[in-house]
Structure 1
Amino acid sequence: MASLFPMLDRRTLLTGLGAAALEAGLPAATLAQARRSLALSARADSLVLRQGGMATPIWSFPGEDIRANRGETIEVALSNDLPAPLAVYCRGIDGAPAGEPLLARPPLAAGANESFQLPLRHAGTFLCDPGLLNDGQPRPLRAKPLIVLETERVSADRDEVLLIEEWRLRPDGTAVAPGTDAKDTTPVYTVNGRTSFELSARANERLRLRFINASQRTVLAVKLEGHEVRVMAIDGEPAEPFPARNGALVLAPGGRADAFVDTAATASILLHDGKEARPVGRLVLSGEAPLRAAPMPSAPPLPSNGLPPQLELKNAQRFELVLGTPADWTRPASFTPSAPPAFRAKTGRAVVLALTNRAAIATVFHLHGHHFRLLDRLDDGWKPFWLDTLAIEPGQTQRIAFQAEYAGRYLIEQVATDWAAPRLVRWYSVE
């Protein structure tokens, strides 16, 4: 199976973090029904993770994916029906300091409830991620997609979410949470909670596919055989459209990519975790007549979310962060808001962070509150897309830049790409 990804060796998998996805133009009636309040309840659940086997106990947020409109503010009512504390973070939602876990919102105790507001300034693919406090817990906890729709119509026929999750199963069929020794466990991957996912479509139908890597530790590549996968957005922010390299999207843990795919034939959906490729589903061409006589013309870029086209780096504030070591970093369960910040940024200024990975394996960096550009080696330009998550190889330094637009206090995270590695956090302020 590895030959299906001839270019995806370990190095390529960790550096090809530009990806793809699809958007459907939804009728106005659908938009008018978007939610303005949201009830989220974390509770015991189960998934069938072994063919013919018993369901595996897990924790989750039951119910449909969350969909809302750009420009809305949603009131989140969160309840914790688990026997462990909970901290939910909406990954990719910029400028929401009142919703920051551990800083504005302490961990939610078992049996407790809370509410907070999320301003949805940007359209895109986001993720309600409960991973901050899930390390070492009795069961793994599923994340939940959050889709914010554009106010403009987008040229696609359907809008589909593909939530990719990784599980580590013991021989007895139980699943271990991340941050736990994974010895004698087997990795299992699901798409939308299924070990064998199937998506049916008509010929020449344009799909907006929202790929989400909800794995807590593993960089993944996903490939749709025999189709051009055209990247439209990365980590929730529109990009200048481009074809995915070798047809594969490479996503860091928590990373998202929107891609347009014009369906042409039944095809396998393949997943590569840096060690081997495996089929995780299929795109099945239905027996109905083609939706149209020929594929649609190339789509224009998705509507801008208003991020600045240029960053003024000459007078940027510059800071260095060392990853891969516990010095100055702490586990979320031990985090205290009174700890000193990693850096203080001035509102309206550009900020450049030099991220050096001292670990022996790749480490994933995630910035809360703002999206960033990945800078070229000489700081004389940047990649033509925005990110909120970046995997950095051992011994390497990457530089990123962002506009400190939103005043407040926000977390930064790092985690090594090993199932047992602890998640570590610090915080920064914009003032």
Structure 2
Amino acid sequence: MKTWSFAPNRREVLAGLGAGLGAGLGASAAGLIAGGAAPAVTAQLALQARPATLALRPDQPPAPIWELAAVSHIGDVRLKRGDRCEVVFRNDLPVPLAPVWYGLNGPAASDPLRARAPTAPGATETSIISMPNAGTLLADFRLFEDGLRQPARPLPVIAIEANRAAVDRDEVLLIEEWRLRPDGSALPPGRDPKDTAPLYTINGKTSFELSAAAGEWLRLRFINGSQRSVLAIKLENHEVQVMALDGQPAEPFPARNGALILAPGARADVFVDAAASAPFLIHDGKEARQVGRLMISGKLSRAPLPPPQPLPLNDLPEKLDLKGALRFDVALGAPEAGWTRPASFSVSSNPAFRARTGRTVVLALKNPGPATSVFHLHGHHFRLLDKLDDGWKPYWLDTLAIEPGQTQRIAFAATSPGRWLIESVVTDWAAPRLVRWYVVE
């Protein structure tokens, strides 16, 4: 079994880890005695919720923040498609928390609020999650933001393909959004942002630099880790080939003008033929900001590469039965429709809809408000339908921004039984995050 080093509370977390692993092994032994063999654990991940600081202004002390840290890994967390991963979570923050997984279409037991209580302060819990798909995932605490005393950093998690794409580099670029007070401290989301200024970082840096050699074939995994803003991310003077969205392979297509439009929590995997140095620009709908730079060394000595081959597909249906689909209208954020803050959530409320396993579900998502609203579907990925409802875009999503007064139709195959959450939040820093739930029987 792998031994991990922990910081800052090494002794406490190791004690909790041992207790958690012991409990997990005991459960496995009990299953064997009862006549059933539990599937083997193929990966392990130790997570810690802990206080931290981040340098956001050069002329002021680092800002206090909270973070979800992978204390079992150095660098990016990379698991394999098909892994059955034992997750040990230690909560060293003063409020109950649990990791929320975005892009993980696993058992419903992994969905927080509905399936399990958050972990108490000072406690350690062990769970098992499966990685049925390869892709770019995100784990964070955004469902618990009403209780956060500091803004919290999310954690990217990569599930790699069995047959990896032929690239020279595979890099995660986590974009985060901050609201800074005059004293340099950062404001948690869901609060009035008066007297604050927006700031964006890539991988925790206000001026991020990615170095590469001329002619390297780069896979860049962009994650909009912001809490409220729809962002346009652009790499100047490069053709950006979109390969996957929200962790699911897409039919490759070039990003328009090299720019990606990502809702909060959305992810995009792109391939870039590194040819020349160029800035990374972020536009939040008000202004463009340079937040980093691709620095190229040497000279390109070959012709541009041909368009890349698609990534290996995950186990999502090739076609959806739209004619025989169950259809439901969902008004985003409307209190009379059953939306509530996560802290007040209860499964005693009526579900937004019910579906039998194997049925196709079509949702008409209506945004009746005066500002853009972001919708996230837990447990399943969906297709964005064409306006005439006779086809869909050539990619899968789990997160969608819907403009004010607009309706977007999505479709998904209800393949994951259980009770799942859906989220809605307005693109306003002070707006509350709202949840409902749905059932696949």
Pick which of 247-256 and 96-105 moved more: 96-105
1:408 aligns with 2:432: no
Shift of 1:35: 7.3
Contact 2:95 2:147 in 1 (8 A): no
- Match status 1:231 vs 2:242: yes
- The answer to whether structure 1 residue 338 and structure 2 residue 348 are counterparts is yes
Partner Cα distance (1:112, 1:355) in 2: 39
> Given residue 101 of structure 1, which amino acid in structure 2 is its aligned partner?
P
Which string of whole-angstrom CA distances, capped at 9 and with x for unpartnered residues, describes residues 320-345 of structure 1?
11113223111001111332211111
> Equivalents in 2 of 1:128, 1:62: separation in Å?
10
Question: Aligned letter for 1:315?
Answer: G
Alpha-carbon distance between aligned partners in 2 of 1:382 and 1:340, rounded to the nearest angstrom: 30
Contact 1:359 1:395 in 2 (8 A): yes
Q: Which of residues 420, 426, 429 is equivalent to 2:436? A: 426
Tell me what 1:210 maps to.
Answer: 221
In 2, Cα distance between the equivalents of 1:322 and 1:206?
43
How far did 1:129 drift? 2.1
Partner of 1:43: 50
The one-letter amino acid paired with 1:407 is P
| Partner SS for 1:87 | coil
Asked if 1:325 is matched to 2:334, the reply is: yes
Which residue of structure 1 aligns with residue 400 of structure 2? Answer: 390
- Alpha carbons 1:35, 1:68 under 8 Å: kept: no
- Deviation at residue 134 of structure 1 after TM alignment: 1.6
One-letter code of the match for 1:318?
A: R
Where relative contact order (Cα < 8 A, 6+ residues apart) is larger, the structure is 1
1:126 corresponding residue in structure 2: 137
The structure whose Rg is larger is: 2
Where 2:357 maps in the other structure, the secondary structure is coil
Stretches of structure 1 that go unaligned for 5 or more consecutive residues are 1-33
Q: Residues of 2 paired with 1:286 and 1:35: CA distance?
A: 39
Q: Which moved more, 1:410-419 or 1:377-386?
A: 377-386
Conservation of the 8 A alpha-carbon contact between 1:165 and 1:215: yes
Secondary structure, aligned partner of 1:98: helix
Matched, 1:69 2:80: yes
Please report the RMSD computed on the Cα atoms of aligned residues, expressed in angstroms: 1.4
Residue pair 1:205, 1:295 contacting (<8 A) in 2 also: no
Q: Which residue in 2 is equivalent to 1:198?
A: 209
Q: Give yes or no for contact 2:333–2:434 (8 Å, CA) kept in 1.
A: no
Q: How far apart are 1:113 and its partner, in Å?
A: 2.0
Query: Following superposition of structure 1 onto structure 2, how do residues 86-165 of structure 1 map, counting pairs within 5 Å?
Result: 86-135=97-146, 137-165=148-176
Look up the match of 1:365. Answer: 375
State the identity as a percent.
63
Alpha-carbon separation, structure 2, partners of 1:117 and 1:333? 25
The AA in structure 2 aligned to 1:53 is Q
Deviation at 1:425, TM superposition (A): 0.3
- Shift of residue 87 of structure 1? 2.9
TM-score (norm 1): 0.90
TM-score normalised per structure 2? 0.88
- SS of 1:61's equivalent? strand
Please give the alpha-carbon distance, in whole angstroms, between the structure 2 residues aligned to 1:144 and 1:133. 15
Matches within 5 A, 1:259-270: 259-270=270-281
Q: Is the 8 A contact 2:362 2:412 kept in 1?
A: yes
Q: How far 1:136 moved relative to its partner?
A: 5.6
Which residue of structure 2 lines up, in the alignment, with residue 57 of structure 1?
64
**Residue 359 (structure 2) pairs with residue 352 (structure 1):** no
State the distance in 2 between where 1:387 and 1:201 align: 30
**Of residues 325, 338, 341 in structure 2, which corresponds to 1:316?**
325
Work out the number of aligned pairs and report it. Answer: 396
Aligned pairs for 1:11-30 (under 5 A) are: none
Name which of structure 1's ranges 340-349 and 55-64 shifts more when overlaid on structure 2: 55-64
What is the alpha-carbon distance in structure 1 between the residues aligned to residue 382 and residue 433 of structure 2?
21
1-side partners of 2:359 and 2:145: how far apart? 35
SS at structure 1 position matched to 2:408: strand
The answer to whether the Cα contact below 8 Å between 2:215 and 2:273 also exists between their aligned partners in 1 is yes
Match of 2:184 among 173, 178, 184: 173
Equivalent position amino acid for 1:264 in 2: A
Give the secondary-structure state (helix, strand or coil) at the position aligned to 2:152. coil
